[in-house]
Structure 1
Amino acid sequence: MGKIKLKNIRIHSNHGCLKEEMLIGSDYRVDLEIAANLERPALSDKLHETVDYVHLNNIVKEEMMVRSNLLEHVAKRICDRVLEELNEVSEVEVEVAKINPPIGGDVESVSVKLRFTR
């Protein structure tokens, strides 16, 4: 068993319940971690035997471009696609953070973290 992590994927998108968020958008950070059996690709050195992190990054980018009111909804869609498209993945965890959220205070970010297993 092993893990692949994509850390600090930075994306600008239009999630949120406020009208300004829908129009102007905000900056987001996404961290994605998957668990899979990596023994075979560790020995073979063949891309087709592992979980391609380019594919993982594309899932994150595509789902972040689909507008949602809640970070929870975006995070769930990312997890669902990873498990749906990559049979080798046994567990997925994603954290979606909104940078400088408009919540009336000096807050660096707010985030939602979800984890699902097969």
Structure 2
Amino acid sequence: MSATVLVVDDSATVRQQVGAALRQAGFQVVEACDGNDGTSKIRAGGIDCVISDVNMPNKNGIEMVEEVKADAAYKTLPIIMLTTEGAPQLVQRAKAAGASGWVVKPFKADLLVAAVRKVTR
């Protein structure tokens, strides 16, 4: 059975690109448009890995990670940040919150898929 990956990004284009790469690699994909939507889909269950943007309206990706990881049920859920941001303080905050990795856009599909495979084994 393939892992289910939640792609959280306010850009429909990015969600489509990431989703296409993951589906082609055999993953199931669920999409969310911001951190609030992402949090509710994680809590609904069945998510094996999350790929999230940082800069989004309503609730950004790091706030979502902080909220989700505060719940013991999701301590081990792998969350990979996918963003144009590369500021060291943001990377540190995301890691401190519990993010498993950091991928900078524009992303290489094969590297993203490899990262997801690594954390969903």
Give the shorter-chain TM-score range.
under 0.3
**Quick check: which one's helix share is greater?**
2
- Bigger RCO (CA 8 Å, 6+ sep): 1
